[in-house]
Amino acid sequence: MSKLPALREETLASFIYFIRGEKVMLDTDLAKLYMLETRVLKQSVRRNLRRFPPDFMFELRNDEIDILVSQNVIPSKKVLGGSKPFAFTEQGIAMLSSILNSNVAVQVNIEILRTFVKLRQLLKIHKDLADKMEKLEHKYDEQFRIIFTALQQMTRENNEPRPKIGFKQS
């Protein structure tokens, strides 16, 4: 059996992009993980297109490719091998395991799907925290506004001389 590439969650998560409102992985990255050539992966997908509706897999448009390159997610278009990449959603990646039957593909898919689940959990935690912060802001907004107004008044430079404080001798 072939030796699997290092499948750490951080590594897998770095291959997940947000395109068209979806978390996706590109065919070039998946091919590396599956230890295949990208053309072999694409050929297998094209032979089974009915298994990949648009919510499972889509081909990137030129403008989306330009954005990925300009944001340095992809060093250059050459990395893509001259053709437009396929982007696979979580469901599309699960479907890949039905057409790529190698032990490597199955093991890699399991780890990728676990990573997607953990990302979902993290996003939920962050959303919960953001919701709680917003509730606190609304709850204490008026009280903080009073405090900030008082602080602003205290920190404003006042050109009028202030009376001296303390013991005065006559």
Is residue 140 assigned to a domain? no
Mean pLDDT across 5-34? 82
Which neighbouring-strand residues pair with 22?
Answer: 19
Q: How many CB atoms lie within 10 A of CB 140?
A: 11
Per-residue pLDDT tens for 51-66?
999 999 999 998 888 8
User: How many domains is the chain built from?
Assistant: 1
Is residue 106 assigned to a domain? yes
Of 89, 103, 105, nearest in space to 41 by CA = 105
pTM over 0.85: no
Is residue 165 assigned to a domain? no
Is residue 80 assigned to a domain? yes
pLDDT of residue 1: 42
pLDDT of residue 41: 92
Is residue 60 assigned to a domain? yes
Per-residue pLDDT tens for 62-115?
888 888 877 766 666 666 667 889 999 989 998 888 888 788 887 888 888 888
Q: How far is 42 from 40, CA to CA, in rounded Å?
A: 5
Is residue 2 assigned to a domain? no
Q: How confident is the model at residue 6 (pLDDT cuts 50, 70, 90)?
A: low
Is residue 118 assigned to a domain? yes
Q: Looking at residue 99, which CATH number applies to its domain? A: 3.10.260
Of 14, 40, 17, 5, nearest in space to 90 by CA = 17
Q: Which domain holds residue 110?
A: 9-125
pLDDT of residue 75: 63
